[in-house]
C-alpha cells in the first residue's frame, strides 16, 4: 500500500478569461520510507503537487490519499487536523517565527498538538543533539546562520513524527557546503528512522541524493527514475 497515492490528479487555476492546468492527470505513488524528489523546471508543477499532498490546496479533479486518508472525504477541519498531526513541512525560507527561540520554533507543532512542555523540551533537546545544533536552543532565528535555521526547521518538521516530510526547495537559500551537509543529514534520518521524504527541487545536488527522481514537465509526469545509492 502506498503512503501517498495520486490518481489522475489535476489542478486548474483560473487566469483571466481562461483556466491554466498546473498539474494534469498525474498518477504518483510513494511508499513509506522513500527518499524521493519531484524534479523539473520552474512551472512544471512541483510545488503545486507538494501543496496538494500537504493539504494546503485541493485538487480540481482526481483522487488524493495520504496515509490511507482520502482527502475528498475530509472536511476542512479534518484536513487541518490531519496536516498538523501527520505531515511535516520544510520550506526554502525556513518559516521560523522571529520572536520565538530555536527550541520554541522546533516545538511549535508539538505545542499545537497539546504535548506537555516537559515532553516537548525532552523531544527537542534530543533532536537538537541529533541535528548538531545542541546549545542553540535559546537563540532566536536572527542569531542563527541559514544552515542552523534550516536545521531548526527540520527539527520542527520531524518532532511530531509525521507520516511524511514535504520539503519545497529546501536548499535554495543555502551555500553548497551547507546544503550538502543537510541533505546527508536528511538521508541519514530517512535511513535510520524510516522517515519518508518528498522534495521538490531543480537543484542537481538534491536530485543526486534522492533514491527516486520523479520528473515533471508542464504539469505532467515525464519520467520516474530509481537511482542506486
Lowest mean pLDDT among 32-36, 39-43, 49-53: 39-43
The CA distance from 179 to 175, in Å, is 6
- Please provide the distance, in angstroms rounded to a whole number, between the alpha carbons at the two ends of the chain: 24
* pLDDT tier at 229, thresholds 50, 70, 90: low
Residue 110: domain span? 4-226
Task: Tell whether the model's pLDDT for residue 80 goes beyond 70.
Answer: yes
Summarize the confidence of residues 107-124 as an average pLDDT: 96
Summarize the confidence of residues 165-194 as an average pLDDT: 90
This prediction has a pTM of: 0.92
Residue 55's closest CA among 73, 38, 30?
Answer: 73
**In this predicted model, what pLDDT tens digit does every residue of 124-168 receive, in sequence order?**
999 999 899 999 999 999 999 999 999 999 999 999 999 999 999
Domain harbouring 142, CATH code: 3.40.50.300
Instruction: Look at the chain and report how many structural domains it folds into.
Output: 1
Amino acid at each position: 500500500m502506498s503512503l501517498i497515492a495520486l490518481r489522475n490528479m489535476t489542478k486548474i487555476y483560473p487566469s483571466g478569461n481562461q483556466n491554466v492546468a498546473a498539474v494534469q492527470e498525474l498518477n504518483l505513488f510513494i511508499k513509506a520510507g522513500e527518499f524521493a524528489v519531484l524534479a523539473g523546471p520552474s512551472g512544471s508543477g512541483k510545488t503545486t503537487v507538494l501543496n496538494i499532498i500537504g493539504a494546503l490546496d485541493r485538487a480540481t479533479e482526481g483522487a488524493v490519499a495520504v496515509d490511507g486518508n482520502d482527502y475528498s472525504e475530509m472536511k476542512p477541519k479534518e484536513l487541518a487536523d490531519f496536516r498538523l498531526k501527520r505531515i511535516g513541512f520544510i520550506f526554502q525560507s525556513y518559516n521560523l517565527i522571529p520572536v520565538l527561540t530555536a527550541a520554541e520554533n522546533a516545538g511549535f507543532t508539538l505545542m499545537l498538538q497539546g504535548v506537555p512542555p516537559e515532553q516537548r523540551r525532552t523531544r527537542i533537546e534530543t533532536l537538537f543533539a541529533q541535528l548538531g545544533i545542541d546549545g542553540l536552543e535559546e537563540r532566536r532565528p536572527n542569531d542563527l546562520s541559514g544552515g542552523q535555521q534550516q536545521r531548526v526547521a527540520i527539527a520542527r518538521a520531524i518532532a511530531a513524527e509525521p507520516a511524511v516530510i514535504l520539503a519545497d526547495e529546501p536548499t535554495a537559500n543555502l551555500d553548497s557546503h551547507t546544503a550538502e551537509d543537510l541533505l546527508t543529514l536528511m538521508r541519514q534520518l530517512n535511513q535510520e528512522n524510516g522517515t519518508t521524504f518528498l522534495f521538490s527541487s531543480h537543484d542537481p545536488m538534491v536530485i543526486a541524493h534522492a533514491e527516486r527522481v520523479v520528473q515533471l514537465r508542464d504539469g505532467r509526469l515525464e519520467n520516474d527514475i530509481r537511482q542506486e545509492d
